[in-house]
Amino acid sequence: MLVAIGSDHGGFRLKEDIKQYLTEKGIEFQDFGTHSTVSVDYPDISRSVAEAVAGAKCDRGIIICGTGIGVCIAANKVKGIRAALCHDTYSAQMSREHNNANILTMGERVIGFGLARAIVDKWLAAEFAGGRHEKRVCKIADLEI
């Protein structure tokens, strides 16, 4: 699995921690920035990660900002992306199993590093359940312009 990862300045520290965690777990990733706490525009980072996932250059993506909200909204503008903002492990698991979310977003100013790692674990381990959920995910795709 190759994970696209990115953050704005508000999520930089958590992104760096998640990168370390992915390395410890032997999961490959590609970092789309930012590379410091200097202010950047989160839609630019979201777009880069989302296009990598939508274009099948990466299998899944993780994007972090202060709240996780802005990066989630921006990523969901890219066709083929189902980004889910998760601040608990149950939502992370369900976003994969029921919604086939291909990008996880989180907020550094909302959750601690330990919880973020647990969320990433659940999200990466979970697989799409298909079945009755397949029809619903297809209906989401039909909404894309």
Condensed to tens digits (0 to 9), the pLDDT of residues 86-113 reads 999 999 999 999 999 999 999 999 999 9
Catalytic residues: 65, 98
- Which pLDDT score is estimated for 145? 78
Confidence of residue 59 (pLDDT cuts 50, 70, 90): very high
Confidence of residue 118 (pLDDT cuts 50, 70, 90): very high
Q: Output the CA torsion sign for 128, 133, 138, 140.
A: negative
Q: What domains are there in the chain, each with its CATH number?
A: 2-142 (3.40.1400.10)
For the beta carbon of residue 38, count every other beta carbon within 10 angstroms: 8
Answer yes or no: are the C-beta atoms of 61 and 18 closer than 8 Å: no
